[in-house]
Amino acid sequence: MELLNVDTIEAARGKIEPYINKYLYRTKEVQIIESLDKVLAEDVYTSINVPHFRRSTVDGYAVVFSDTQGASDTIPVFLKVIGEVEIGNEAKKSIKSGECVYVPTGGMLPPNANAMVMIEYSEMFSEDEVAIYESVPYNSNVVQIGEDISEGELLLSKGTRIRAQEIGAMASIGKSVVSVYDNLSVSIISTGDELLTIDKSLLDAKIFDINTYTLLALCEKYKMPIKRALVLKDDEELLKNTIQEAMNDSDIVLVSGGSSKGKKDVSAKVLDELASSGVLTHGISIKPGKPTITAFDEESKTLLVGLPGHPVAAMMLFEVLVMSTIQEGLGKKEERTIRAKMKTNVVSAPGRTTLQLVSLSVIEGEYHAEPIYGKSGLITTLTKADGYVVIELNNEGLKKDESVLVHIF
């Protein structure tokens, strides 16, 4: 059997990165309401202050703060009410010491007012006089000009995935159109004579297909539209024709299985024939996931990836190779990590970067990571894991109580 000539994970990323940067990052302008779950392709700066006027945070009376000093429940201060500000209208009437103006929540403070007294701490004493029962400090209950967002400030960074709150932030500065990256489309092709779709009955030495469903779920997580998801027999010509068809309408084609050097493992040969780049990587010094293949076709602008048939390895390499490279190029890596202490010693795989699955627990307010062991073909190892720890290529392992960075699923 021919052995794999392996790359490091960094080298494998480096080989596909130029193609991804050149061909896969298409941008388009959309209305902000259409940008939900997409990734910003521009830095968004504000050209205005938010708010652009001094605004009250309460219903009550705009006052000169020094007029309220000493006021209490038993000894109120009496102020003359000289008007009322209507929400959305400019406050033109200036106040002086001994005067106040009623202002609703969100209303503009009148000139010379420098604090707000909540209506709950006031009582009308006569037709134009109010009793104030609270001593308020300077600028109490007032939002200053630009306190939320200052003119010229960077509001949102390129690479940010847009949520409802980002849409609200853009609306607050009057930005109606934004540049976003197109979501990348994917075709998923699982191969193997032993595979059955989950609507069939088990027989002989067949197994249910796992990778199609786990990869579909991961693509859904990243909002990547699916062009097709197929299970194929181990047939070289069928595989070649199916990948060729997928290259016509997909940004990424994921081929699961057939990536090793076994008798029926033809993925590398097929991808080498179809991709203008030829095979870029066939074998990565990583555990799990060594028999991984990458290639790129410039004519169809398609990234081709041969993932291992083992479910754990396929999922892990999709995350740490494909999505990691894509997201770093977008300007923001969407990944959650936490610090934890190892519960036990862990030995790494010699000569390979090891992705060690771990479960997390909290002991006396600290996270602790416990290694989960299992062969890469056992999907249940992933269901027990909260994340994984990266043990670098030249690191012999991890020690008990060592602080590690856990990448959360």
Domain match, 194 and 261 both: yes
For the chain, the farthest-separated pair of C-alpha atoms sits apart, in whole angstroms, at 99
pLDDT in tens, 178-200: 999 999 999 999 999 899 888 88
* Domain-located, residue 139: yes
pLDDT of residue 138: 97
∠ CA(264), CA(266), CA(267), 5° rounding?
135
Reply yes or no on whether the pLDDT at 205 is more than 90.
no
* Domain-located, residue 1: no
Rounded distance between C-alpha atoms, residue 168 and residue 150, angstroms: 16
Domain match, 202 and 297 both: yes
Instruction: Output the CA–CA distances (angstroms, integers) from residue 153 to 138, 147, 368, 394, in the order listed.
Output: 26, 11, 40, 44
Report the SS3 class of residue 270. helix
How many distinct structural domains can be found in the chain? 4
Bond into 51 cis (ω within 30): yes
Q: What residues pair up with 103 in beta bridges, in sequence order? A: 60
Domain match, 255 and 370 both: no
**Among 259, 27, 46, CA closest to 147:** 46
Mean pLDDT of 234-244: 96
Both structure tokens of 365: 């307010």
Domain match, 288 and 314 both: yes
- The residue segments making up the domain with residue 160 are 28-50+147-181
* Domain-located, residue 345: yes
Q: What stretches of 192-257 adopt beta strand conformation (E)? A: 195-196, 207-208, 226-232, 252-256
pLDDT of residue 145: 96
Both structure tokens of 327: 């997201």
Mean pLDDT of 334-344: 88
Mean pLDDT of 339-344: 96
Rounded distance between C-alpha atoms, residue 336 and residue 339, angstroms: 11
* Domain-located, residue 4: no
Is the pTM higher than 0.95? The answer reads no
Domain match, 162 and 305 both: no
The residue written with tokens 């504000």 in the block is 46
* Domain-located, residue 301: yes
pLDDT of residue 277: 97
pLDDT in tens, 287-332: 889 999 999 999 999 999 999 998 889 999 999 999 999 988 887 6
pLDDT of residue 1: 42
Q: How many CA atoms lie within 13 A of 151 on its CB side?
A: 6
Q: How many CB atoms lie within 10 A of CB 205?
A: 7
